[in-house]
Structure 1
Amino acid sequence: MCGIAGIISNKANSASQLQEMLVAQKHRGPDHTGFYEDQGFACIGHNRLSIIDTSSNANQPFKDPSGRFILTFNGEIYNYKELKSRVQDYNFRTTSDTEVLLALYLQYGKDCIQLLNGMFSFAIWDIKNKKLFAARDRFGVKPFYYSEENKFRFSSEIKALNLHQKTAPNKKVWSSYFLHGSYGMPDETFYSGIKQLPAGHYLEYDFSSEALTITKWYNFEEKIKNRNSIKKLINLKEEYLALLKDSIKLRFRADVPLAFNLSGGVDSSLLLALVDQFKPDTDINAFTFYTGDKNYDELPWVQEMIRQTNKPLQKVKLSVNEIQDLALKISQHQDEPFGGIPTLAYSKIFKTASEQGIKVLLDGQGMDEQWAGYDYYLNQQNQTIQGLKKGSSAFKKEVIEKEFQALAIKPNYPTPFKSKIQNTQYRDLFYTKLPRALRFNDRISMAFSTELREPFLDYRLIELAFSAKDEYKINGNSTKHTLRQIAAEFIPKNTSYAPKRPLQTPQREWIGNDLKDWVATEIEHLKHSIFSEWFDHRSLKLEWESYLNGNNQNSFYIWQWVNTALLISKFDDFE
């Protein structure tokens, strides 16, 4: 897990600017900072967090034996050992997955990405032809941002690109965020001059012609349509469990200590149970967060699982008096709006793990999207937020000025499948739930120089579960039906069949009580910022007062306002 950056330009100051970009995202890889310059054409950089082959031989940017190709790579290729045996006529000088990736590119060209099982974002500069090839993994676990201002620039984080260009807010994305809860389409960001390479795509940039082409390399829709779904439930369970065990085994490949995150839900509980099977005699630490509020904390379920496996548990508490400072810190790392106080609580796990020398954590992200686990799959409402009551809205359109409202575009997501459940899953996987969760989690893990691995996001698992019949996902009032049956063989029944709990922190209560003065201050900041003209401040004040008076069924819209205020400094140049 690392940071990548590059500038494809003939400007004389490119080298110094890239060095500054690398400093801005050094938290992503504090173990080594690498730099390569093809003078007059390109500068390629890398921030390294050493996980596999921690020797200096595996430092990046990594050069092939001929010296023609320069690789900067962020992520992990979990099946690198198996792929290494496929490489011909190449003498490896490291045991890293980095070198395997470059060797595969030499042998297969851009088709090598089809072979990769992992999370990755990488760029390869061709010194001879002065061309850049870059690719992002199937589901966008690892980020890739770019700008076409001053030729072509790319990085792992927006803040690195923002150092040397004035970037205005992307008003369409911001307006759609306030009105519809959208975090942008797969190629968009909240910044007008910065885009992201969509998940499952690669790009090619030619220095001479300045031509940029973007190509979709992972055709998920075709793979599902060409796949025969397993007819018998018992066969589905057997195949899925075998793949899941293999996925976990692959993600234990590391030359540094590992741990994992644990909540009280079925997903992470199953992960714990299978880790215990895989490493029964190893004291692998489990981390969980709590707030001290029994209405939200999942400690009872977590502790029940821990008693079953005897794995060490570290409980990490988030206190309300930490919120103000932590929210500002995490907001600066996120660069864009993020999910709320649960994200802050989750960030403390990575901080604690990092302080104890742990570099890699596993978690249970991805099960709800592949097995239709959110409550809106049951009522077939067109929602993207878990836990909302029928007919209710998480947004307050009336506080947004009408001219700014007009910029919003209600997202219209593709529906490539006959099944409504599959179309909702497809939306969640590639447009809504998963992309935003992966972005939140990448930034908070990297803020504390730790790598997050997600065994349930192995593409083989997602393709298998997604292609299963609807009745294998939803059964009566039970979501994730097949997964719960699998889990029941390993974890207590009251955990495997417990409904998904949408709320894990007392965000609503804290905002209206302990944090109300801070929230009021942040709302006031909006009046005197670049964002001021976006709001009807009278309506905003009335909604805030209504919330304080008990109309607080959800707090998402309040967090939107606070989140926006916290990001004011990112756009100071445009006041």
Structure 2
Amino acid sequence: MCGIAGKTGIPVENIQPITDSLHHRGPEGSGYYADNTLQLFHTRLAIQDLSDAGAQPMQDESKRYVLIYNGEIYNHTALRNKLPEISFRSHSDTETLLHLLIRYGTDILEELNGIFAFAFYDRGEQQLILARDRFGVKPLYFRDELPNAFSFASELKTLRLLSSSPLSVRTESMLECLMLQYNLTETSGFREIERLGPGKFITIDMRSQRRQTVSWARPLYTRQYTVQTEADWIDQLDTALQQSMQRQLLSDKPVSFFLSGGVDSSLLAGLTKRLYPGRQLDAYSVKAGAAFVQEGFADDYAHAVSFAQQIQCRLHTVNAQPDLIHDLDRIIYALEELQADPACFFVSDIAARAKDAGQDVLIGGTGADDLFSGYRRHQALYYYNALDNIPAGLRKAGGALLKMLPAGKVRRLQKLLRLSLAPPNERMLQSFLWINRSEAMNLFSADLREQLTLDTIDTYCAGLLAAIPEEHDPLNQMLQLETHCFLAAHNLNYLDKIGMAHGVEIRVPYLDTELAKLSALLPPQLKMKGSETKYLLKKVASRYVPEHIIKRPKTGFGAPIRSWLQEDAAFRENLRERVMQVCSQWPEYFDRQQVERFYNDTINNRTDGAYTLFALAAIESWLRQFTAN
């Protein structure tokens, strides 16, 4: 894993701040390339081929082609068979990628099985290509400063240093953060800075500065399901998972595991132990407290301990005692996005422990819920079908009765009844929201309310569904939104940024290219059978994981913010101070009176606003750290 950056146009004279800003992503070395039109920066975290032969920027023998690259190509050894004429100097996947791009250009992208963001420069044609992996595991920001300046970087902090002109806040990002807890996939908190979308590449003609963005990744969902028996599907999925793990373990450094005690991470660890019985496995697990259980975060730790003992895995325990407010600035600075999720704090603690233990690679279960159905909003599709048989008047009456109860206690049932009255597409879109549109909009200043538009989320999601016109199954439609929104913009952003803040690479085997393509061929009724999510994946897991883990209810990976807000006076006061500060410091954005009303309604259980308040605190931290200078 590495950090990359580059700039065309007026060169940066002092390059040290640029490489310093990426040092945490690549603490083991740095490199620099420059000519009359382009500067390229690289910092290295060596995972494959630890020698200097893997250093970057990497050039071919002719010096015509230059590559800087962040990521891992897991099938790069097999892809070398496409280059029989090349005498490779290393076993680095960087060298493989360089020669594949020289030989095949962007046509090779569909064959890459890995996680990546790279810049490939052809000096002869004066062409720069930027590309990002299928799911957006590795980040890449860019800024187009017309008429002749273009810059890009792994991190927003670096891109700010490369920018020649001022930046302005993208105010819609604050609305998205309140409603979704994150920003949409191809935007950032700044209007002038974009994120290259998952599965896309940009070509830049250095002579004319013309830019073209192309989607290279074909849509997963095409309604072309494979018909075979359930038993055959179990075998096929099992084989695909084994092959994914064999690829993902490619490393010249130790590899360890997240082990939550849930199905997804346990399956990866159990399968690995079966494949390599003599291999010593290390894993990290979070130990939750009573407040977590009280709010619905089942205590996974006991399951993780028993399973680790069963497979003779060395388990490292991380106590879940985060100080969300005290540590918020550090987390937001690493995330660089308007994003609010307590899970980030636990990932940070685990990554720090792993780094201290000399383990630079972690494997996690992210992606299983998004490809095979694992969230409560997927189960809601099943319940909507049942509720559709109940007269709308009765559902409305039931919703009115529920409003008389404490909001935090019945929030899911309230939302289910409310959305059951909406059209199918509206149900799908609103299931991703933490707060409804009117409540979110009321928190902004009167002037900003007139400027903000509520349709950015709807428009983006409608475009994602339009990209899979043949797919009409509601579950697969929702998984299409899941992979491009919650997965790419939220989960993968924090996994990469938080892991790399500690110089740790986090791998995601469920997003293996071949496994993902197979998941799209799986009939939806085998992903979720009735209301049972991850049905077929659990069938495979039963070969490797004890039944008590498979049968246990789904739990989140977060913190009991609602309970702390009600019961912890220090947390409540600290959160209130942050929330009120965003109104005091940025009155052009937020209405203090409305925010205070919302805070009081939350404290008095008239609305379920704890996570929205935390999102306001995250926005305050982002504005203070990224716009104050």
- Fold in common (TM above 0.5): yes
The 1:552/1:302 distance shift into structure 2, 3 A limit, reads farther
The 1:278/1:400 distance shift into structure 2, 3 A limit, reads same
CA contact (8 A) 1:175 1:405 kept: no
The 1:391/1:505 distance shift into structure 2, 3 A limit, reads same
Q: Does residue 265 of structure 2 align to residue 268 of structure 1? A: yes
Residues in 2 aligned to 1:182 and 1:211: alpha-carbon distance in whole angstroms: 35
Q: Which amino acid aligns with 2:274?
A: Q
Q: Equivalent residue for 1:362?
A: 363
Q: Residue 518 of structure 1: which of 563, 569, 574 is its match?
A: 574
Q: Equivalent residue for 2:419?
A: none
Q: Which amino acid aligns with 1:71?
A: L
Q: Does residue 358 of structure 2 align to residue 304 of structure 1? A: no
Q: Residue 427 of structure 1: which of 474, 481, 484 is its match?
A: 481
Q: Which amino acid aligns with 1:319?
A: Q
Q: Equivalent residue for 1:176?
A: 176
Residues in 2 aligned to 1:330 and 1:204: alpha-carbon distance in whole angstroms: 33
Residues 490-501 of structure 1 correspond to what in structure 2 (within 5 A)? 490-501=544-555
Structure 1 residue 566, shift from structure 2 partner: 0.9
CA contact (8 A) 1:286 1:313 kept: yes
Structure 1 residue 164, shift from structure 2 partner: 4.4
Structure 1 residue 550, shift from structure 2 partner: 4.0
Q: Residue 92 of structure 2: which of 64, 86, 96 is its match?
A: 96
CA contact (8 A) 2:325 2:575 kept: no
Q: Equivalent residue for 1:106?
A: 102
Task: State which drifts further: 371-380 or 45-54.
Answer: 371-380
Residues in 2 aligned to 1:19 and 1:88: alpha-carbon distance in whole angstroms: 39
Q: Equivalent residue for 1:379?
A: 380
Q: Deviations over 1:434-458 (max 9, x none)?
A: 4310001111000000000111111
Structure 1 residue 388, shift from structure 2 partner: 5.5
CA contact (8 A) 2:583 2:589 kept: no
SS of match in other structure, 1:312:
strand
**Which structure has more helix as a fraction of its residues?**
2
Q: Which amino acid aligns with 2:172?
A: K
SS of match in other structure, 1:431:
helix
Residues in 2 aligned to 1:235 and 1:346: alpha-carbon distance in whole angstroms: 36
Q: Deviations over 1:447-480 (max 9, x none)?
A: 0000001111112212212222221012222111
SS of match in other structure, 2:82:
coil
Q: Equivalent residue for 2:434?
A: 394
Task: State which drifts further: 506-515 or 327-336.
Answer: 506-515
Residues 5-84 of structure 1 correspond to what in structure 2 (within 5 A)? 5-9=5-9, 11=10, 13-16=11-14, 18-38=15-35, 40-84=36-80
Q: Deviations over 1:132-169 (max 9, x none)?
A: 01111000000110001261100000011112432111
Q: Which amino acid aligns with 2:57?
A: P
CA contact (8 A) 1:388 1:394 kept: no
Q: Which amino acid aligns with 2:188?
A: T
CA contact (8 A) 1:24 1:159 kept: yes
Q: Which amino acid aligns with 1:520?
A: R
Q: Equivalent residue for 1:290?
A: 287
Q: Equivalent residue for 2:132?
A: 136
The 1:277/1:405 distance shift into structure 2, 3 A limit, reads farther
CA contact (8 A) 2:151 2:162 kept: no
Residues in 1 aligned to 2:346 and 2:105: alpha-carbon distance in whole angstroms: 42
Structure 1 residue 228, shift from structure 2 partner: 4.2
The 1:267/1:209 distance shift into structure 2, 3 A limit, reads same
SS of match in other structure, 1:534:
coil
Q: Deviations over 1:63-93 (max 9, x none)?
A: 0111001100000000111111221321211
Structure 1 residue runs of 4+, over 6 Å off?
Answer: none
Task: State which drifts further: 439-448 or 466-475.
Answer: 466-475
CA contact (8 A) 2:367 2:487 kept: no
CA contact (8 A) 2:183 2:489 kept: no
SS of match in other structure, 1:214:
strand
Q: Residue 532 of structure 2: which of 475, 478, 481 is its match?
A: 478
CA contact (8 A) 1:35 1:61 kept: yes
Residues in 2 aligned to 1:292 and 1:172: alpha-carbon distance in whole angstroms: 36
Residues 531-546 of structure 1 correspond to what in structure 2 (within 5 A)? 531-546=586-601
CA contact (8 A) 2:2 2:43 kept: yes
Structure 1 residue 234, shift from structure 2 partner: 1.3
Residues in 2 aligned to 1:183 and 1:458: alpha-carbon distance in whole angstroms: 24
- The two structures, once aligned, show a CA RMSD in angstroms of 2.0
Residues in 1 aligned to 2:202 and 2:565: alpha-carbon distance in whole angstroms: 43
Gaps of at least 5 residues in structure 2 are 385-409, 416-432
CA contact (8 A) 1:248 1:275 kept: yes
CA contact (8 A) 1:332 1:567 kept: yes
Q: Equivalent residue for 1:204?
A: 203
CA contact (8 A) 1:508 1:552 kept: no
Q: Aligned pairs, how many?
A: 561
Q: Equivalent residue for 2:348?
A: 347
Q: Which structure is richer in relative contact order (CA contacts within 8 A, separation 6 or more)?
A: 2
CA contact (8 A) 1:168 1:571 kept: no
Q: Equivalent residue for 1:452?
A: 506
Q: Equivalent residue for 2:155?
A: 157
Structure 1 residue 391, shift from structure 2 partner: 3.5
Q: Equivalent residue for 1:278?
A: 275
Q: Deviations over 1:179-219 (max 9, x none)?
A: x3274443211211101111001110111111010001011
Structure 1 residue 520, shift from structure 2 partner: 1.7
Residues in 2 aligned to 1:242 and 1:15: alpha-carbon distance in whole angstroms: 52
Q: Equivalent residue for 1:85?
A: 81
The 1:241/1:161 distance shift into structure 2, 3 A limit, reads same
